[in-house]
Amino acid sequence: MFALLVRFSIRAGHEDAFDTLVAETLVAITTSEPDTIVYASHTQAGESNVRVFYECYRDHDAFEVHEAAPHTRRFLTERTQHLSCPPEVWTLTPVAGVIGGKPLAGDGAPR
């Protein structure tokens, strides 16, 4: 499994436009990326201009497919106008957890 945590600081007044761009991107992820396990956008309590993404892929190859997809390329290009600074990105390695009621194996893959 390959996972990312990404924190975006959104320009004042751009929150709705950013969320719309995310929603449009999610439609394509849902229909064309079977190895994207989780792709979720969250708000941060008390900071309406912050969005935090949790992204989880079957493996690094699935992430590469995601990054190369036209909808992702569009998102990466268009998001810039809505951001007040570059996003913060953390690459994560699963240690333990559950996905869909199944525990993760030692390599981070669902059993």
Q: How far apart are the first and last CA of the chain?
A: 11
Instruction: Locate the domains of the chain by residue range.
Output: 2-103
Rounded Cα distance between 2 and 17, Å, is 28
Tokens matching residue 31: 């229909």
18-64 pLDDT, tens per residue?
A: 999 999 999 999 999 999 999 999 998 999 999 999 999 999 999 99
Whether this prediction's pTM lies above 0.85 is answered by: yes
CATH code matching the domain that covers 2-103, chosen among 3.40.220.10, 3.30.160.270, 3.30.750.200, 3.30.70.100? 3.30.70.100
Rounded Cα distance between 80 and 51, Å, is 14
- Of residues 44, 47, 35, 41, the one with CA closest to residue 1: 35
Question: How large a percentage of the chain has pLDDT more than 90?
Answer: 81
| pLDDT exceeds 60 at position 111 | no
